[in-house]
Amino acid sequence: MAVEVRRAVPRPALRPRREREEEVLVWPDLLFPEFISAVLFLFTFILLSVFINAPLLNQANPNITPNPSKAPWYFLNLQELLLHMDKAWAGVLLPGLFLLFLAVIPYIDRSNEGQGVWFGTQYSVRITLVTAFYSMAITWLLVLFDAGKFERLTRFFPTCSEDAQHHWPPCLTGGANGLGGARELYTRLRFSIGDFDWPQDWRFPLPKLGGFSELHFKNLHLWGDMNINVAAVMVEQVIPLVIVFGLAALLVYGLFRIGWVRTTRDVMIVLFTGAMSSYLALTIVGSFFRGAGQALIPPTDLRVDCGTVPAPPGCP
Amino acid sequence: MAIYEEPGRPRNWQERLAIWRDRLYDRLFHNYIWRSIFRSGYPNTPRNQMLVVATNIFLHLHPTRIHRTHAKVTHTYCLGGLTFFMFIILTVTGVLLMFYYVPDVNRAWQDIAALETNVRFGLLMRNLHRWTAHGMVILVFLHMMRVFYTGAYKPPREFNWVVGVMLLFLTLLMSFTGYLLPWDQLAIWAITVGHGIGGSTPYLGDEVQQVLFGGFEIGQNALIRFYTLHVLGLPLLSAILMAVHFWRVRRDGGLARPL
Ligand code: HEM
C-alpha cells in the first residue's frame, strides 16, 4: 500500500544548481581561514593552560559536604531552577522539554523564509534583542522575588497565628513581613474556603473500581482515595509553570499585536532566544551569585571550596 | 622549480641565495620519501587545488568549491569547525591523560596529583584538556545559535539539526562524565548534585540513579561507569554522529543559503 507523504512546504531540490561564477575554491578560500582559526585557538588554549591551572581540590571525602555544592557551570541553571520549583520539573522535565523543543523547531517552522542569511526576517533583530532583554530581566526579577527582595510589596496581607482556624481573608503567619519568596505561599499563607484549609491536604474520595479500593504501579497512584496537597502542587508546579510558559506566551502575543512577530519563524526566534537567554541568566546567577546555603550573595562574597580541610577563611 | 639554465657562476649574492634556496627546496620536497607521501608538489593552480581537496583524505570532508557567501568568516565564524577542533584536541590530550590515570577511588586522585607534579607536561595536558572541554561546550552553543539565527535548519536540513541537538546533548554528557574523574571534592559533590537531579525523574528516579550512577551514592560504581562512558562510549557515539553530521552538510547541498 502506498504511503502518502504530505508536506506543508514543497521541498526544494536537494542540490540546487549553482552558478559557477558565484563560487570560490575551498583551497585557499575556506582552508586558509580554517587553518588560521585553528592555530589561533590552539595557541590561545595553550597560553591559557600555561597560566591558569585546572582546579584540583582535596581528595574526595563523602563525609565533608562543601557548602555550597555546585554542579558544573553548564548545569548550574538547572541547579538554580531547583530552588524555585518542584525538582522533577526543574531538573528533568523542563530541560527535557527544552531539548525536545530544539529538536522539533525545523518540523514546526518549515518555511524557507530567511534561510541562509543572518537574521533573515524583517524584524528579527529587534525581536531577538527585545526577547533577550525581557527574558533576562524577568529571570532576574523572579530570582530576586524568591530571595525575598520584594518582601515589602506584599505587606498588605493581614497577619495571623499558626494554629488559628478558618481564615478569611488570606493572612500570613509568622510576623508582619511580606512574602519572602514563592514558597512562603505554602509555609506562611493561610486561608479557608468551605472545609478546605490551605495548605492542608485535600481529600478526594473515589469510588471502588472493580473491587479495587486502591491501585498502585510502583509509586504511581492509579486509583483510590486521593490526598492531594493542593498548596504544594500549586506552589511547586502550577505557579512556576504558569509563570514560565505564561510569560513566554505573553511576549509572543505582545510582539504579535504590535506587528513585529509575523510568521512561524518569528515565533521560533522569540521562543529560542527567550529560552537561551533565561538559561544564560540562570547560569550566571547560579555561578556567581549563590553562596553557602544557596543564599543570594554578591559575587565578591563567593567562597567555593569550603569542602576542603582545613576550611579556607570565610567558611562556616 | 629549480632553474639551472645558466651554468655560469652567480653574479651577485642575490643569485647565490636563490640557487641555495632552490637546492634546499629540491632536497626537502623533491626527494623519494617526500614524494612517496605527497604525490605532487604544492598545488599552485586552481585545478590542482581542487584535486588536492577532493583526493586528500583529511581535506575531502570539504567540497572543492563553495558559494562565495559561505567563504566569508562572518557567515559561520568557523564555529562548527572549531567545535570539531576542540574535540580533536580533547582526544589527543585525553589519550595522554589515560596513560597515567586509573579509575579507582583509592588512587584516581593520587594519579591526577602525580600527573600534575611528576609527569613532564602532565599539568599542561590536564589544563589543556580541561579548558578545551569548557571551550567545546561554549562553542557548541554558539554554533547552534549561528545555525539558528541564519535559519539553516530549514528544509532540507531538518534532520541535520536534530543530529546537532544530539551532539549538543552528548557534548554536555561528555563534559559532565569527565568532571567526576579527578575524584576531588569539586568532582564528587558536583556529581552528587547531578545524582540528585537524576533521582528526581518522575517515577523512574531510582532506575536513573542505578543506570547512570550505579547506585544511590557516588562511589566506585559511579566512577567506573563515568570513566567508561567518558573515554569510550560517548566519544565513539559522538564521532559517529559527527560523521553523519558532516556527511549531511554535504548531502544537503552545502551550507544553507537563500533560495
Ligand atoms: C559536537 C558538536 C558539533 C560539531 C562538531 C558540528 C560541526 C559542524 C560543522 C563543521 C558544520 C559546517 C558549518 C559550520 O561550521 O557552521 C556544521 C553545520 C551545521 N550544524 Fe553542526 N556541529 C555540532 C553541533 C551542532 C548542533 C548542536 C546543532 C544544532 C542544534 C548543529 C546543527 C548544524 C546544522 C543545521 C548545520 C548546517 C548549517 C548550514 O547549512 O548553514 N550542529 N556543524
Beta carbons of B152 and A116 less than 8 Å apart: yes
A232 Cα: distance to centroid of ligand 1 (angstroms): 42
At A316 the pLDDT is 47
SS (H, E, C) B141-161: HHHHHHHHHCCCCCCCCHHHH
Contacts of B201 in chain A (CB under 8 A): 88, 91-92
CATH of domain B73-251: 1.20.810.10
Residue with CA closest to ligand 1 atom 28:
B164
Compare CB distances from A116 to B124, B201, B257 and report the shortest one's residue: B257
B144 Cα: distance to centroid of ligand 1 (angstroms): 7
Q: What span, in angstroms and rounded, lies between the C-alpha atoms of B145 and B5?
A: 58
Beta carbons of A45 and B183 less than 8 Å apart: no
pLDDT confidence of A12, banded at 50, 70, 90?
low
pLDDT tens for B163-196 read: 999 999 999 999 999 999 999 999 999 999 999 9
Count other Cβ atoms within 10 Å, centred on residue A69: 19
Q: Which atom of ligand 1 is nearest to the CA of B170?
A: 1
Query: Measured from the CB, is residue B81 less than 6 Å from ligand 1?
Result: yes
At A310 the pLDDT is 53
Count other Cβ atoms within 10 Å, centred on residue B51: 15
Sign of the C-alpha dihedral computed for residues A232, A238, A241 and A244 taken in this order:
negative
Contacts of A79 in chain B (CB under 8 A): 193, 197
Would you say B147 and B153 are in contact if contact means Cβ atoms under 8 Å apart? yes
Is the reported ipTM for this assembly greater than 0.90? no
Residue to probe by mutation, ligand 1, list B69, B143, B173, B237, most atoms within 8 Å of CB: B143
Contacts of A60 in chain B (CB under 8 A): 105, 109, 183-185, 187-188
Residue A304 in 3-state DSSP? Answer: coil
Cα Rg, chain A, nearest whole Å: 27
Beta carbons of B126 and A54 less than 8 Å apart: yes
At B130 the pLDDT is 97
Would you say A67 and A316 are in contact if contact means Cβ atoms under 8 Å apart? yes
pLDDT confidence of A295, banded at 50, 70, 90?
confident
Q: Which residue has the cell 497565628?
A: A161
The average pLDDT across A124-147 equals 96
- Residue A126 domain-assigned? no
Portion of chain B with pLDDT greater than 90, in percent:
78
Beta carbons of B251 and A49 less than 8 Å apart: no
For CATH 1.20.810.10, the residue range(s) in chain B are: 73-251
Query: Mind giving me the DSSP string for A67-124?
Result: SS----GGGHHHHHHHTTS-HHIIIIIHHHHHHHHHHHHHHH----TTTTSTT-STTH
pLDDT tens for B50-73 read: 999 998 888 989 999 999 889 899
- Which cell goes with A271? 521562543
Residue A203 pairs with which residues in a beta bridge? A227
Query: Mind giving me the DSSP string for B153-183?
Result: TSTT-HHHHHHHHHHHHHHHHHHHHHHHTT-
Q: What span, in angstroms and rounded, lies between the C-alpha atoms of A195 and A192?
A: 7
Closest CA in chain A for residue B68: A23
Would you say B96 and B119 are in contact if contact means Cβ atoms under 8 Å apart? no
How far is the alpha carbon of B136 from chain A, nearest alpha carbon, in Å?
11
- Which cell goes with B168? 549538543
Distances (CA, A) of B251 to A210, A248, B127: 58, 36, 38
Closest CA in chain B for residue A19: B67
Cis check: omega of the bond before A199, within 30 degrees of 0: yes
Q: What dihedral angle (degrees, nearest 10) is formed by the CA atoms of A252, A257, A263, A267?
A: -10
The average pLDDT across A9-38 equals 78
Contacts of A285 (CB under 8 A, 6+ apart): A80, A139, A140, A143, A296
Q: What span, in angstroms and rounded, lies between the C-alpha atoms of A88 and B199?
A: 9
Residue B70 in 3-state DSSP? Answer: helix
Q: What span, in angstroms and rounded, lies between the C-alpha atoms of B204 and B246?
A: 35
Residue A270 in 3-state DSSP? Answer: helix
- Whether pLDDT at B218 is above 70: yes
Query: Measured from the CB, is residue B195 less than 6 Å from ligand 1?
Result: no
How far does Cα A90 stand from its chain's mean position? 7
Query: Measured from the CB, is residue B157 less than 6 Å from ligand 1?
Result: yes
| Mean pLDDT over each residue of chain A, to the nearest integer | 86
At B4 the pLDDT is 57
Residue to probe by mutation, ligand 1, list B67, B249, B251, most atoms within 8 Å of CB: B249
- Which cell goes with B169? 546533548
Q: Read off the amino acid at residue B101.
A: Y
Q: What span, in angstroms and rounded, lies between the C-alpha atoms of A111 and A123?
A: 16
Residue with CA closest to ligand 1 atom 23:
B164
- Which cell goes with A211? 473491587
Residue to probe by mutation, ligand 1, list B144, B147, B175, most atoms within 8 Å of CB: B147
pLDDT confidence of A170, banded at 50, 70, 90?
confident
Residue with CA closest to ligand 1 atom 34:
B161
- Residue A162 domain-assigned? yes
Residue B184 pairs with which residues in a beta bridge? A59
Residue with CA closest to ligand 1 atom 13:
B80
Contacts of A16 in chain B (CB under 8 A): 253, 259
- Whether pLDDT at A15 is above 60: no
- Residue A216 domain-assigned? yes
The reported pTM is 0.90
Residue A201 in 3-state DSSP? Answer: coil
pLDDT tens for B143-170 read: 999 999 999 999 999 999 999 999 999 9
At B90 the pLDDT is 98
At A6 the pLDDT is 57
The average pLDDT across A4-14 equals 57
- Residue A31 domain-assigned? no
Q: Which atom of ligand 1 is nearest to the CA of A102?
A: 30
- Residue A240 domain-assigned? yes
Cis check: omega of the bond before A169, within 30 degrees of 0: yes
Q: What pairing do the DSSP bridges indicate for beta strands A196-198 and A189-193?
A: antiparallel
Phi first, then psi: what are they for B123, rounded to 5°? -60, -45
| Mean pLDDT over each residue of chain B, to the nearest integer | 93
pLDDT tens for A198-235 read: 888 777 777 777 777 777 777 677 777 777 888 888 99
Cis check: omega of the bond before B7, within 30 degrees of 0: no
Contacts 24+ apart (CB under 8 A), A30-39: A30/B62, A30/B66, A30/B70, A30/B71, A31/B53, A31/B59, A31/B62, A33/B71, A33/B73, A33/B78, A34/B78, A34/B81, A37/B73, A37/B78, A37/B81, A37/B82, A38/B81, A38/B82, A38/B85
Portion of chain A with pLDDT greater than 70, in percent:
88
Domain total of chain A: 1
The whole domain housing A237 covers: 151-263
